[in-house]
Amino acid sequence: MTQSHLSRAGRRNARGGGRSGVVAALLASALGVTTVALTTPDAAPQAPAPAAPYAPVAAPAPGDVLVDESFGGPGLPAGWSAVEGDWKVENGRLVGASANWNQQTRITFGRHLTDFRIEVTARFETVVDAARWTALGLDVPASGVTPWSIATMRSGTTAGNGLEFAQRTPADSWSVTNTAVAPAAAGTGRDVRIAVEVHGNSARWIFEGKEVMRTSQVARSADGGQALIVNGARVSFDDLKVTALAPGAFRRGPGAPLTVFAHRGASSAAPENTLLSDEVARRAGAEWIENDVQPSRDGVPYVLHDDTVNRTTNGQGRIRDLTAAQLDALDAGAWFGPASAGARVPSLAAQLDDLRTRGGSLLLEIKGPHTRDEVARIVKDVRDHGMTGRVFVQSFEVDALRYTRELAPDLPLGLLRGSLDTDPVAVARDLGLSAYNPSDAALSTRPEVVGALHAAGVAVNVWTVDTADRWKALDAAGVDGVITNRPAELAGWLSARQ
């Protein structure tokens, strides 16, 4: 999208004071100089999990209840496998016991699913200490061996890491990708209804009916199913259900917050369309990073908004007239400030690698007219990096969307509009859109189109909005997401309204 750059950084939820100190630290991280430390469920530093390929499989019909277990029988349900620790059915509840913090008591069940909701009523009966936990296994091999992807709840849920998304790596270490504070204490002796909705690599953590956290970093396998895990506690479970969901997570559910799309990364706090801007956006709480892609003279897709490199690099010329080697040599950060010097114009391949290893999903705008072969190269890069489950393609160019649909029908599509079509629903159906993405000014002329698009199953994401009064209006209008230069501020604003 075309939007004038905002130079004032504003508040961010990264540690540190002014922009220079934060950006300098993140620049080093984004360029691979340092490793981001992650808190583990046992508060010991561990290595991050390696990126895991995600291979989607045929899904059951949305709404199908695949597991519905109230534990009324005398023994473990058929098909459930107690891998470690003590598991039994007692007084109409499943009970798992782990003797200490080092024992990961677990039971596996279910099948591999791409889009699903897992929910259960859990109760801590006893705990070694308030840091002990239970978890919903989101992607766990039936054998219970690593790696796993889980959603964790501590007995002390109101701690800063009371709820987590985490991974147990093949090296048998922990990588925690996201943490949150629960709105109430689980404690002991109290039934708590918990749920997680999973869409590929993305997931929502729901505590007693309230969404508390999202992630785009669920590591997926080809065949992992579901599980329950207990650590240093005795936990009982009841009324467990696994339900198939419709693909994608583009429409927000009742009570869910707006989705935060970081426009060109966190472009108010870091140089736009760079890996540094992406990293700031991730730490700001953005689920999606919006960036633009265009080809170099030799056909390599690069992440750049303008037709020329003049504004955002130390070079001159049209991107389509410069080779990949010439683009790689440019400094794309110094124009923004001394702390950003050294940031590069990333190729699409480099950005996809960064997203795989550091987390996040990509709202990828195909910028300007593209030939079918140019779109095919973009699709190839996405496929080669195993990122089809984490890339959403949008464009103003109808031909680019048609080419994408022809070449990769599994990639969701969004149409960008500076003014509304006479019949947005008809256009969405014609192009096979998952989202219709108008400017804020355009939507304000006919906000009623949101309801019509939703009725047709199409999400609405609005660009580019940076003020709280407009966030409030769009939230009230029922739009699904906001594309903003200020992802930290929007994420904070949404959090304060929960």
What are the residue numbers of the active site? 263, 305
Residue 382 CB coordination number (10 Å): 24
CA distance 153 to 218: 16
DSSP string, 382-451: HHHTT-GGGEEEEES-HHHHHHHHHH-TTS-EEEEESS--S-HHHHHHHHT-SEEEEBHHHHHH-TTHHH
Q: Which residues face 242 on adjacent strands?
A: 67, 118
The answer to whether 291 and 262 are in contact (CB under 8 A) is: no
* Closest by CA position to 393, among listed 448, 425, 352: 352
Pairing state between β 288-295 and 301-303: antiparallel
The most distant pair of C-alpha atoms in the chain lies apart, rounded to whole Å, by 75
The answer to whether 315 and 309 are in contact (CB under 8 A) is: yes
CA distance 9 to 20: 10
Q: How far is CA 208 from CA 121, 231, 256, in A?
A: 9, 21, 13
The answer to whether 116 and 245 are in contact (CB under 8 A) is: yes
Give per-residue burial for 33-51: e unless 16+ CB within 10 Å, then b.
Answer: eeeeebbbbeeeebebbeb
CA distance 70 to 61: 23
The answer to whether 165 and 269 are in contact (CB under 8 A) is: no
Q: Which two tokens stand for residue 164?
A: 């987590």
Residue 299 CB coordination number (10 Å): 12
